[in-house]
Amino acid sequence: MFFVLNPDYSSEIKEYMDITVISQSEAQKRVEQIHAFTRELAQLKQQDVVSLTPQQSAKIATYHLQLTSDLSNTFDIDTNVQSQQLSLGMKIASLAGALAMASSLFFLFYQFWGHLTTITQASVLVISPLLLFILTLTLADKEKHAYFSKMSALVCFASFVLNISMLGQIFNITPSPNAFVTFSAFAFLLAYTCNTRLMLIFAIGCACSFIAMRLGTWSGIYWLNFGERPENFFIPGILLFVIGYFGRHKQFNDFSSTYRITALMIIFSPILVLANWAQISYLTFPNEIIEGAYQTLGFTLSAALIWLGIKQQKSDVTNTANVFLLLFIYTKFFDWWWDLVPKYVFFFLVGLSALLALLVFKRIRNIYLSVETHI
């Protein structure tokens, strides 16, 4: 059966759902939802559960075809299985190409840098990121698929960082953590301009590093040694989680999820480190007390975030907290039993703990399923 698109459906779709205020990931989920609905409807028809007139079937098919076409014209989404299988390879290729281009730019500078005069060096350092930024904006404005604009954004950011560093060397500027503010601001600009999560991660990393550096200098350590005190990352991690949890990034591709996952990694990683190496903590209590406190905090916070993620239907929070909960459990197993029991007994105990975790998760899952069934 062939369907003829009705031009009037386009206006009806826009009235039903404004596709300009949704993100690319939401558009992709909507297309997958349409495909799932089509398969389920075909199954229901085959089993004589539902019966539609030819006019109703044609209207549904036409509406879905028009909606899929509008979403495909607005976003870079996969409308069939074949294109979905190729998308991952294209993303990997664009990332590899961007990293290769950034590395090429780095080695190109250092290959011929000594043969240039100071004025030429400064001119190249100022002009090159500006040209790359203009190229990135042009590609982001004209390109629907955004693969090349994201590559250009990464190369532009690498050029900006390299140029700031080399300008500091040329004019003998004292290194300062304030450079990370500039790096972070430029990365945020590129991230929101090109709608790329990779640049958002760089921006978050630079911003968190700056805050940790400042906290470290206020406590009396040299700013480059900020990593010696993992507690410096707690404040930026909490701020990021609040932004990701309460912030709205409807037109940006999974930015809220990126904020939340990155924030949880920044919060949990210091807890995991301090739960095993208390000597690098700001706290002055005995090491056993500090490690025990951070171990308790890690278990409690992981369990609380798993519950919160399930309750609020935020799978990224649940999955990230699950990973760190398992890390806390297995590090404790290592502390307790690695030196006390044979290795085969140790891994047998680890396997038993995994089975226990499966039973617990299955029990919780059944509880949620039973509640939903009763509702």
Rounded CA-CA distance 64/202 in Å is 38
- Written as six digits, the tokens of 212 are 């940790």
For the entire predicted model, the pTM comes to 0.75
Q: What is the pLDDT of residue 305?
A: 93
Which residues contact residue 78 at a Cβ distance below 8 angstroms, ignoring those fewer than 6 apart? 28, 31, 84, 87
* Any domain includes 19: yes
Cα torsion 169, 170, 173, 177: sign = negative
One-letter amino acid identity for 344?
Y
Segments in the chain below pLDDT 70? 1-24, 76, 78-91, 109-110, 113-114, 143-146, 250, 253, 365, 367-375
Please give the span between the terminal C-alpha atoms of the chain, in angstroms, as a whole number.
Answer: 40
Rounded CA-CA distance 61/53 in Å is 12
Say how many residues make up the chain: 375
pLDDT tens figures, 305-354: 988 988 888 889 999 998 998 888 888 888 777 777 787 787 887 788 77
* Any domain includes 31: yes
Rounded CA-CA distance 97/190 in Å is 18
The number of CA neighbours under 13 Å toward the Cβ of 168 is: 13
- Written as six digits, the tokens of 215 are 């906290």
One-letter amino acid identity for 187?
A
Residue 285 is given by DSSP the state S
317: three-class secondary structure by DSSP? helix
Q: What is the pLDDT of residue 334?
A: 81
Helices 54-74 and 8-16 sit at what angle, rounded to 10 degrees?
Answer: 70
Residue 286 is given by DSSP the state -
Q: What is the pLDDT of residue 119?
A: 82
Q: What is the pLDDT of residue 371?
A: 55
Rounded CA-CA distance 91/85 in Å is 11
* Any domain includes 286: no
Q: What is the pLDDT of residue 141?
A: 77
* Any domain includes 64: yes
Tokens 């069939």 sit on residue: 80
Count: domains in the chain: 1
- Written as six digits, the tokens of 126 are 């100022």
- Segments forming the whole domain that contains residue 37: 8-74
- Written as six digits, the tokens of 116 are 């240039």
Residue 181: exposure state from Cβ atoms within 10 A (0-12, 13-18, ≥19): middle
Rounded CA-CA distance 33/44 in Å is 16
Tokens 């900020």 sit on residue: 226
* Any domain includes 361: no
One-letter amino acid identity for 371?
V
Answer for the pair 64, 34: CB distance below 8 angstroms, yes or no: yes
The number of CA neighbours under 13 Å toward the Cβ of 372 is: 7
pLDDT tens figures, 159-210: 888 888 888 877 777 788 888 999 999 999 999 888 888 899 999 999 999 9
One-letter amino acid identity for 346?
F
